[in-house]
Amino acid sequence: VTPDRIEVLVHRESIVHSMVEFDDYAVLGQFGVPDMKIPIQLALTYPDRLPCPTGRLDLAAIGKLTFARPDLDTFLCLRAALTAIGRGGLYPALLNAVNEQLVARFLAGKLPFLAIGDLAMESLNLSVPGPVTLSGIEEAEALAEDFVRAHT
């Protein structure tokens, strides 16, 4: 999927989990209660669907659903992801590896949360050589390790 076909929206109610727009502009959405128990349950029981442990979704009680475009200055990790996808090549692999290592450092108490986005963006200044092959991905991962080690 090319970046121009992806639209990210902020949805504070966390009811709409995904939407797909078709060629005729009809939109199909997946709605559910805002609880991660449901996707975890489905992952464990697929293809079967068990009764929801959290109860039914009551749209009338919710009243309205809101959507907004994300502020890419606030959501730096999203900006980094869109940038990496747009550049293509090994940049998505590099960003993924950088993100994994930054999150591990955050979870270990060695990096402030807000530094993740700044460093993710900065990592995209690296030159990522090589084609998208297994060895290229391994090279991007090594480059990510060096970058994170040097910046944390």
C-alpha count within 13 angstroms, C-beta hemisphere, residue 45: 11
Q: Which of 77, 84, 71, 72 is nearest to 115 (CA)?
A: 77
Give pLDDT tens digits along the chain (152 positions).
777 888 999 999 999 999 999 999 999 999 999 998 888 898 999 999 999 888 889 999 999 999 999 999 999 999 999 999 999 999 999 999 999 999 999 999 999 999 999 999 999 999 997 889 999 999 999 999 999 999 99
- CATH says 76-151 is which class? mainly alpha
**DSSP E strands: which ranges in 58-97?**
none
Give the separation between CA 119 and CA 117, rounded to whole angstroms. 5
**Every domain of the chain and the residues it spans:** 3-62, 76-151
Q: In this structure, are residues 89 and 132 in contact, taking their beta carbons and an 8 Å threshold? A: yes
Rounded Cα distance between 123 and 143, Å, is 9
